[in-house]
Amino acid sequence: MSAVSADISEAIEAISQDRAHGAGWLAREAVNVLVQSLQDCRARTGEEFLSYLREVGQALARAQPSMAAVSNAVGAVVLAAAGKAGAGSLSATRRAAVVRARQIIASWDKAVSRIIHYAERTVPPKAGILTHSYSATALAVLEHLGSQGASVIATESAPLYEGRATARHLARLGVGVTLISDAQAGSFVSRASAVLVGADTVFANGAVVNKVGTYTLALLAGKAHVPFYVATETLKVASTRPTSGFGREAGWEAGGDDLVGAIPAVYFDLTPPRLVTALITEQGVFRPREIRPLAIRARQYRTALFP
């Protein structure tokens, strides 16, 4: 990517190293970086512009490979540009990309408000809700339900403890919240009326990628007969099913000792569709098996990005 400025390369690297933000925030940031990178583009035709756009988009998608929202968002921009590039008009191709990027960024907040609308009709009123990690989408839902009288139990969400930020945010808003350790989830799940989490990716079969510990929480919820809900934008639906190698450690964390060594650094896990009660999206509430048609659109984005 020699044609890309150092600032853009650094921005892509920052997205790659980001472990603090959720998929929605990172998808919007990726689209912003993609638009900013156009300042470096020296294309003379629509096809050259598309080639450049695709190269930057691929780098952004690879920066967060476990988050379908990132590859879908940049893929949607590339797909819009590809529809104009064949005619050879540079200005039309560039305009299509910028307009689609702005639509994606603007639509995200609208999607969250729709998810809140459907969540309010799905989660029992004034429920006790158990949640895990930090998701901007799930947090918006919890804020609203909390304002209606719901209370929240938040896990700390080791190893990065994003759940503490969730608990602090809700507490500042006056929502009744209890912060627990991850190990205490089994003791508290029976006190909840529902479990609600976000998602980094939803695979085509309805399996959910989220912060490590989500799978354990889903198992506990199933055992306790507590419904397990996932609040997610449809842009997070991937075109594929999970691979057999999913969930391998991303490296090693300090914290072991001379006898047992370091601790594996695993940031995400996979919750199978059989443990998910429903996916609450801006397009409605879906059972995991009903999410498959949305993967067709994601496949179009993926094909545009990686032809």
Pairing between strand 201-202 and 208-211?
antiparallel
Q: How far, in Å, CA of 1 to CA of 12, rounded?
A: 11
Residue with tokens 């934008």: 233
Q: Residue 104, Cα to own-chain centre: how many angstroms?
A: 14
Is residue 167 a contact partner of residue 177, using CB atoms and an 8 Å limit? yes
Closest CA to 203 of 158, 163, 247: 247
Residue 95 dihedral angles phi and psi, to the nearest 5°: -60, -40
Q: Residue 270, Cα to own-chain centre: how many angstroms?
A: 13
200 a catalytic residue: yes
Pairing between strand 228-231 and 278-281?
parallel
End-to-end CA distance of the chain: 18
| Catalytic residue (one of 7, 109, 182, 200) | 200
DSSP letter assigned to residue 121: T
Burial letters for 246-271: b for 16+ Cβ neighbours within 10 Å, e otherwise?
A: ebeeeeeeeeeeeeeeeeeebbbbbb
Is residue 174 a contact partner of residue 144, using CB atoms and an 8 Å limit? no
Q: Residue 67, Cα to own-chain centre: how many angstroms?
A: 6
Q: How far, in Å, CA of 281 to CA of 286, rounded?
A: 8
Instruction: Return the active site residues.
Output: 200
